[in-house]
Amino acid sequence: MGIIEKMRLDGKKGFVTGGARGIGKSVALALCEAGADIAIVDMDIDEAQKTAEWMAKETGQDVFAVQTDVTSPDDVNQMVDQVLARFGRLDIAFCNAGICINVPAVDMTFEQWKKVIDVNLTGVFLTAQAAGRIMIKQGSGSIINTASMSAHIVNVPQPQCAYNASKAGVIQLTKSMAVEWATTGVRVNSISPGYIGTELILAAPHLTALIDEWNKIGPMHRLGKPEELQALVVYLAGDMASFTTGSDFVADGAFTAF
Ligand code: NDP
C-alpha cells in the first residue's frame, strides 16, 4: 500500500464543530474526501444542513447536520448521542468552533470575557471530553482542537485578550488530555492557524480594514486559505499519526517565526 492509501480514512466516523462554514467546512470536506463519514456540528442549523447536503453530494459520504451550542453540556452530550446513533462509533473529533471579540482589556465586560472563554475554551473542553469518553471505551480515536497563532503571540493592532487567553488554554488543555489518555489509544493534538480568510475576518469590517497591515508583517504577505489546513488535519485524524499526540501544529506562513 502506498503512502496516500495509508493516509485514507475509509470507514472512520467523526464530527466537526463549527462545521457549517470556514475552516470547519473546509476540513470536513477533506475528511470526507479521505473516506470518513462526518457530522457537521454548528449553532447555525440552516447553514449546517446546507453544508451537509452539499458535502454528501460532492463526496458520496454519509454527512449529516446536528444543531449544537458547544457551550452547553446537554447540547454536546445530545450531539454525541446522535453521532453514535447514526454512525455506531466515533473515530475523529475536530473541536473547532470559535469566536473572537476585539475589545481592549480595560473595557471588556464580564459578559464579553465569559462568552469568548465559554465558546473557545469550555466548548473545546466539553466536546473533547465527550469524544474522549467514547474513544477511551473503543480503545482508539483522534481529537484535533483548533487553537490559533494567537496562543503563541499577541496579535496587533487589534485588542483581543480573551481570545488570546482562550487559545493558549486550548493548547494546554490539549496537552493535558493527551498525557492523561496516552495509553488508551486516544490521541489529542491542536492546530494553530495564522490569519485565514474566513467570515471570522472577512465579515468583520474592523478586521478587514487591518488585512493590509497584517500582510505587511507576515513573511508571506497574504492570508492563508482554509484549504491550506486540510492535509494537516487529515494526517492528524488518521492512523499514520499514531505516535503524534500532545502536540500543537502551527500553520501560519511563518507569522510567528520571528
Ligand atoms: P467562522 O466564523 O467562519 O466559523 C465559525 C463557525 O463556528 C460558525 O459556523 C459559527 O456558527 C460556529 N460557532 C460559533 N459559536 C458556536 C457555538 N457556541 N457552538 C457551535 N458552533 C459555533 O470562523 P473560522 O472558520 O475562521 O474559525 C474556526 C476556528 O478557527 C475558530 O476556533 C477560530 O478561532 C479558529 N481560527 C481562525 C483563524 C482565522 O484567521 N480565521 C485563525 C486561527 C484560528 P454561527 O454562524 O452560528 O456563529
Collapsed DSSP state (helix, strand, coil) of residue 201:
helix
Ligand 1 mutation pick, 80, 200, 214, 228, max ligand atoms within 8 A of CB: 200
The pLDDT value given to residue 139: 98
Number of H helices, E strands in the chain: 11, 7
Catalytic residue status for 235: no
| CA-closest residue to ligand 1 atom 44 | 148
Residue 83, ligand 1, Cβ within 6 A: no
Q: Which atom number of ligand 1 is nearest to the Cα of residue 163?
A: 34
Instruction: Encode pLDDT of 130-140 as tens digits.
Output: 999 999 999 99
Which residues does 114 contact at the CB level (< 8 Å), separation at least 6?
none
Residue 238, ligand 1, Cβ within 6 A: no
Query: What distances in angstroms separate CA 252 from CA 93, 97, 194, 195, 228, one per listed residue?
Result: 22, 19, 4, 7, 10
The pLDDT value given to residue 98: 98
Task: Find out whether 95 and 122 touch, Cβ atoms under 8 Å.
Answer: no
Catalytic residue status for 148: yes
Instruction: Encode pLDDT of 16-64 as tens digits.
Output: 999 999 999 999 999 999 999 999 999 999 999 999 999 999 999 999 9
The pLDDT value given to residue 100: 98
- From the list 73, 24, 64, 26, the residue with the least C-alpha distance to 45 is 64
* Residues in the chain where the model's pLDDT stays below 50: none
Residue 69, ligand 1, Cβ within 6 A: yes
Q: How many angstroms separate the CA atoms of 257 and 234, rounded?
A: 24
Ligand 1 mutation pick, 198, 199, 201, max ligand atoms within 8 A of CB: 198
Which entry of 12, 167, 192, 195 is annotated as an active-site residue? 167
Collapsed DSSP state (helix, strand, coil) of residue 242:
coil
